Structure 1
Amino acid sequence: MIKSKNVRAVIIVVCAALSLFALWPSFKFYNLSDAQKKEMLKTPEGTKELNELQSKSINLGLDLKGGIHLVMETDVVTLYESIAKTKDAEFTRVFEKAAEEYRKNPDAVFSNVLRAHFEEAKLSMPAYWGERFKDNADVVKFMDEQSKDAVDRAQQIIRNRVDQFGVSEPTIQKQGDHRIIVELPGVEDPAQAKNLIQQTALLEFKLVKDPQDLGTALERLDVYFAKVDTVSGKISAGAISADTSKKSSDGGTGLSAELQKSSSDSSQKDSSALANLDKPLTKLLVSSQYDVLVPENNFEYVKSMLYYQVGERVKMKPGVQQVIGESNDIIFSSKPIFEGHHALYLVKKQPELSGAVITEAKQDIYQGMDPGLAGRPIVTLKMTPEGSKRWAIVTGANVGKRIAVVLDNKVQSAPNIQEKISGGNTQITGMENLIEAKSLAIALRAGSLPAPVHVMEERTIGPSLGADSIDSGKMAFWIGFVVIALAMVAYYRMSGAVADMALVINVLLLFGVLTGFGFTLTLPGIAGIVLTMGMAVDANVLIYERIREEIRLGKTVRAAIETGFAKAFVTIVDANLTTFGTGIVLFQFGTGPIKGFALTLMIGIVTTIFTGVFVSRFIMDLIYDRSTIERQMSIGISYTKTSA
């Protein structure tokens, strides 16, 4: 123990001053009314000051500030399928059977389920996932490694996206092997945040096939669906009426010819029916000057004709894939592009470039020559040197053709290539506003997720509920503080008041540490603070009871104080360190609320030892100084000894 009172006084004053300095922005920020905040936001200087105050204030957790809590799960089924080198009909059959069993029992290990089904079908897993593997066990080991790596990468990518989104003190942590917990306090638009986190952000550039190729493919699909309908009745030709609001001017010519027509009159510049009503697919579509469109009321049905859903995955039907060719794909625009109509595209399945070559993505406003895009939000992209070279080759070899900018298997835009593009600069259009453009830019900068993630659990806490929690927490804190303080004074008299002064400094230091180091205060954290107050005075109780015993044994007040603090110190440290160890375990393995409790508990234990032993002893030494003669000790007993 430091003997010099001056040194001890300096240490206590410095600690208290630092805590007050750290807490001052919080006092200012949380005492501002909504009207004052709005007034400050009217000027750049006021906005800057408000932002600085908020950034230096104590961080409030999800339960106090409001926000969104998500439990995300990595789609290992899609991951394992995507890393397969080759696929055939037998692979698809066995894989989907294993996936179906896994969906019924999600607690199982999918790689083991997959192995069991492949071995039952007498199929070699290395034949599909790579000949470099020795046997099925080797493939399963590789899958498990890929799964763990995918979760780690997804966690980091989600963290990067959230950091760029501007959320203060988010919680992003793994839970088990495949799940990630995300907590975003203070988010004003939970839907936007959820979309940003969940978006795979797989960016691809795919060449759009010529209109005659699309026309031929659709006509062949008509023949295919007509046969399917005749044989199995799975698709009814009259299930959905055609969009007859825009009829074809020629009464139903061949689709290839219709798509190659030049639009010489105004009626052709609008949409027109592609085929007559006896064609299962094309009767549901309309043509425009540039695209084949799907009316909104037919959109889901057309998708169900072309695709099927397995759990969370959407896949093209094998029969449809065979008709259009294994090297092609049919995809839709991400949003309606014309009066509630989605565009349908036939593209090459193999992308020319992927988002891996993107080095920079930022939102902007279109300032080019196209009047249709004037003032619209865009995302500008810059590529790596290798990506720039490849982009120049692709655009140079396909001048006059269209290239689809595909994000998560949906077409954002499909511009015509006017000329060779050098330098690796390009842009994405199709966003509704700058907020959407910003979210897309963030997702592209952070990178694409290695596998889709799905929301398994979602909780949204509104700001009003958070305000109620703050009020409840304040009430609990003050009730606890007043009851403890009065009880100590009632039982230990003047010595109880000393314990109360140490308690005030304890709470001040605790909040100062929370704020200064940027920790987050949660509702369970407030419970931890209230518990800390009880533990703090408990340390004083141990000391005071020991002093009482020494006084009963006939020692002077000074001697009793020195012995009481010395002998109680080991007990206090031992008890608190045991609790501190429990706090470490809770903080390491707990989730948001539990972590908040464990954090304040651990900080409170450190400040409790400091104030209970160091601060209390200093105040006692001031009151019962060695130079004081005939001084009685007020410690709640009927007899005292004078100090000596």
Structure 2
Amino acid sequence: MLDFPRWRKIWLWGLTFMVVLCAIPSFFAALGVAYPDELPEPTVNLGLDLAGGSHILLEAEPEQVAAQRLQNMEESVRTALRDADPEIRIGDVSTANGRLSFMLEDTSEIDRTREILTPLMNGQGLTREWELTVVDTSRVVLTPSQQAIDTAVTQAMDSATDVVRRRIDELGTREPTIIRQGDTRIVVQVPGLQDPEQLKELLGQTARLEFKLVDLDALPNDVAQGIAPPGSQIFPYAEGTPGEGTNIAVRRLGGIQGDSLTGAQPGVDPQTNENVVNIQFDQQGGQRFAQLTTQNVGKPFAIILDGEVLSAPNINEPIRGGGAQISGSFTADSANALSISLRSGALPVDLAIVEERTVGPDLGADSIRAGLIAMGVGSLLVVLLMIATYGRFGVYATAALVINVTMILGIMAILNTTLTLPGIAGFVLTIGAAVDANVLINERIREERKRGRKVVTAVENGYREASRAIYDANITNAIAGALLFAFGSGPVRGFAIVLLIGLVTSVFTAVMLTRMWVADWLKSARPRDINI
């Protein structure tokens, strides 16, 4: 017990000092005192319930997923039948009522059509996602299964959640909470963001970028009235563009989607001095873009973002290298926002804001004040009880408790974790639970002394025997905390983080540090009896 090597003392004090030092910036922030800029500043982040911020509930429209599946299937069917040898000609294509149907010009091609389309109707694992039926001997009807639609909606929502997370991370915010709610909703909570307008603009933008060829055969009067020729679509020009207030007709199929982008950066066109967005395709997307521009030199193509045309320039020459430039009367801020949206990826489905709340920091300040009061009162009562009951050993337990709370803050600052209101509850709980280890040790030492053990032997046995129960109890609590962290979200995880860190620091301070202090005292004082 008295043999406590110097290297172990240096290690214990060094580790304690380093972690406590990391908690100092958090105390400066809590007291409102300026912290020197020259020094590192690891601080504990405050959650939405403490720092205030923005709460937004997003809801998707699953019908868009089904419509997109129909469009993709139509393009795949057209390509497969066109590439067949010999080609299978079709007409009267319709996507009404959630089904894809078309007429065969040659009814004798029914069996060959079914054979060609069978691979397209099977999903992963050869699961049938589409049903093919023949009506009136010449019309082929493809109907998606409900299970396939539900699976597609789930995948789209998972992808949308990832896109939302990437966009918010681009804002540089700390510890946002982004979780699914139900089948078609996403909850977004961003601490510290008091003005949600930028967040709303970023999340409300689908960022679905498309490059489509302009239909030069469309009649201007029909286009102005929103009437699209067969095989084409009508899109309006975006606000602020030269064509604002007018429409344009583009070919519905055969364009390029922006899902193959690898980069997007805001910039300035050196010739016009306008804000633009420079984009870069991956290898496959670059090849498709080069092929599109090579085959259509001299023709206009429209750059469409979220259903609005940004511009429709002529293709003067093939565009190779996988790079392109988007212009559309951008400001510096709007060009940067569009770059963030394009880099993070397009949302697979539109998200509408159905609920919006801004949480002010006043509530958080009241919660922190109440938590500090509870912590202070609880700490004072625990200190008085420990000192009155165990004397010197109670003083050691009190010192360990103070260091324990400080080390929790230091470790949270090092890990850049977030403190929430339940986390404060975890702090208060840790104060009461932290001294349990010292109570077990001290009571065990009492028992050893009653049995007639000498002072050093009683203390040695007390620490050794009590440590087993302490480790067992903390391991079971750690398992519960790990499960809370793994399966919980938001404030629940905040509580779990404080609980797990508190378990580690409690064992370190209540067992290791107090044992070192007691060993030093016994070695220097060599008391014949102890008051415990």
Q: Same fold (TM over 0.5)?
A: yes
Partner of 1:242: none
Rounded to whole Å, the distance in 2 between the matches of 1:432 and 1:484 is: 62
Pick the aligned partner of 2:245 from 322, 335, 342: 342
Please report how far the alpha carbon of residue 413 of structure 1 lies from its aligned counterpart in structure 2 after TM superposition.
2.9
Is 2:148 the partner of 1:162?
no
Is 2:417 the partner of 1:513?
no
Q: Does the 8 A contact of 1:205 with 1:351 survive in 2? A: no
Pick the aligned partner of 2:521 from 623, 630, 643: 623
For structure 1, the residue ranges without an aligned partner over 5 or more in a row are 41-45, 96-123, 222-305, 307-322, 636-644
Identity rate of aligned residues, in percent? 37
Q: Tell me: CA distance 1:448–1:597, structure 2 relative to 1, closer, same or farther (3 Å).
A: same
Is 2:495 the partner of 1:591?
no
Q: Does the 8 A contact of 1:362 with 1:438 survive in 2? A: yes
Q: Tell me: CA distance 1:518–1:391, structure 2 relative to 1, closer, same or farther (3 Å).
A: same
Rounded to whole Å, the distance in 1 between the matches of 2:333 and 2:379 is: 45
Q: Tell me: CA distance 1:577–1:388, structure 2 relative to 1, closer, same or farther (3 Å).
A: closer
Is 2:393 the partner of 1:495?
yes
Rounded to whole Å, the distance in 2 between the matches of 1:89 and 1:68 is: 46
CA-atom RMSD in angstroms: 3.7
- Deviation sequence 1:407-436 (CA, Å, 0-9, x none): 121223334445554444332233653222
Q: Secondary structure in 1 aligned to 2:121?
A: coil
Rounded to whole Å, the distance in 2 between the matches of 1:457 and 1:93 is: 31
- Deviation sequence 1:370-389 (CA, Å, 0-9, x none): xxxx4x43212233455445
Pick the aligned partner of 1:462 from 360, 363, 370: 360
Q: Does the 8 A contact of 1:16 with 1:508 survive in 2? A: no
Q: Does the 8 A contact of 1:366 with 1:378 survive in 2? A: yes
Q: Tell me: CA distance 1:65–1:416, structure 2 relative to 1, closer, same or farther (3 Å).
A: farther
Q: What's the TM-score, normalizing by structure 2?
A: 0.78
Please report how far the alpha carbon of residue 502 of structure 1 lies from its aligned counterpart in structure 2 after TM superposition.
0.8
Q: Which has the higher contact order (CA 8 A, sep 6+)?
A: 2
What residue identity is the alignment partner of 1:330?
I
Is 2:441 the partner of 1:543?
yes
Rounded to whole Å, the distance in 1 between the matches of 2:526 and 2:293 is: 97
Q: Identify the range of structure 1 (385-394 vs 607-616) with the bigger mean alpha-carbon deviation.
A: 385-394
Rounded to whole Å, the distance in 1 between the matches of 2:302 and 2:130 is: 39
Rounded to whole Å, the distance in 1 between the matches of 2:98 and 2:322 is: 42
Please report how far the alpha carbon of residue 25 of structure 1 lies from its aligned counterpart in structure 2 after TM superposition.
4.5
Q: Tell me: CA distance 1:7–1:353, structure 2 relative to 1, closer, same or farther (3 Å).
A: same
Pick the aligned partner of 1:562 from 448, 460, 467: 460
Q: Identify the range of structure 1 (153-162 vs 402-411) with the bigger mean alpha-carbon deviation.
A: 153-162
Partner of 2:46: 60
Pick the aligned partner of 2:427 from 498, 514, 529: 529
What residue identity is the alignment partner of 1:334?
A
Q: Tell me: CA distance 1:599–1:629, structure 2 relative to 1, closer, same or farther (3 Å).
A: closer
- Deviation sequence 1:144-169 (CA, Å, 0-9, x none): 55444434433333333233222223
Partner of 2:191: 185
Please report how far the alpha carbon of residue 599 of structure 1 lies from its aligned counterpart in structure 2 after TM superposition.
0.8
Please report how far the alpha carbon of residue 75 of structure 1 lies from its aligned counterpart in structure 2 after TM superposition.
4.3
Is 2:250 the partner of 1:353?
no
Rounded to whole Å, the distance in 1 between the matches of 2:153 and 2:287 is: 33
Please report how far the alpha carbon of residue 190 of structure 1 lies from its aligned counterpart in structure 2 after TM superposition.
2.0
What residue identity is the alignment partner of 1:10?
I
What residue identity is the alignment partner of 2:23?
L
Pick the aligned partner of 2:306 from 408, 425, 432: 408
Q: Tell me: CA distance 1:381–1:581, structure 2 relative to 1, closer, same or farther (3 Å).
A: same
Is 2:265 the partner of 1:362?
yes
Rounded to whole Å, the distance in 2 between the matches of 1:209 and 1:90 is: 20
Rounded to whole Å, the distance in 2 between the matches of 1:632 and 1:431 is: 86
Partner of 2:325: 427
Q: Does the 8 A contact of 1:171 with 1:181 survive in 2? A: yes
Please report how far the alpha carbon of residue 212 of structure 1 lies from its aligned counterpart in structure 2 after TM superposition.
6.1
Q: Does the 8 A contact of 2:207 with 2:305 survive in 1? A: yes
User: Which aligned pairs between 1:64-103 and structure 2 lie closer than 5 A?
Assistant: 64-72=50-58, 75-84=61-70, 85-86=73-74, 92-93=96-97
Rounded to whole Å, the distance in 1 between the matches of 2:165 and 2:341 is: 11
User: Which aligned pairs between 1:110-259 and structure 2 lie closer than 5 A?
Assistant: 130-132=120-122, 134=128, 139=145, 142-143=148-149, 145-174=151-180, 180-210=186-216, 213-218=219-224
Partner of 2:232: 328
Please report how far the alpha carbon of residue 559 of structure 1 lies from its aligned counterpart in structure 2 after TM superposition.
3.1
- Deviation sequence 1:265-320 (CA, Å, 0-9, x none): xxxxxxxxxxxxxxxxxxxxxxxxxxxxxxxxxxxxxxxxx7xxxxxxxxxxxxxx
Q: How many residues align?
A: 483
Q: Tell me: CA distance 1:81–1:8, structure 2 relative to 1, closer, same or farther (3 Å).
A: same
Q: Secondary structure in 1 aligned to 2:348?
A: coil
Q: Tell me: CA distance 1:552–1:409, structure 2 relative to 1, closer, same or farther (3 Å).
A: same
Rounded to whole Å, the distance in 2 between the matches of 1:500 and 1:616 is: 10
Q: Does the 8 A contact of 1:129 with 1:139 survive in 2? A: no
Please report how far the alpha carbon of residue 73 of structure 1 lies from its aligned counterpart in structure 2 after TM superposition.
5.0
Please report how far the alpha carbon of residue 67 of structure 1 lies from its aligned counterpart in structure 2 after TM superposition.
2.3
Q: Does the 8 A contact of 1:383 with 1:425 survive in 2? A: yes
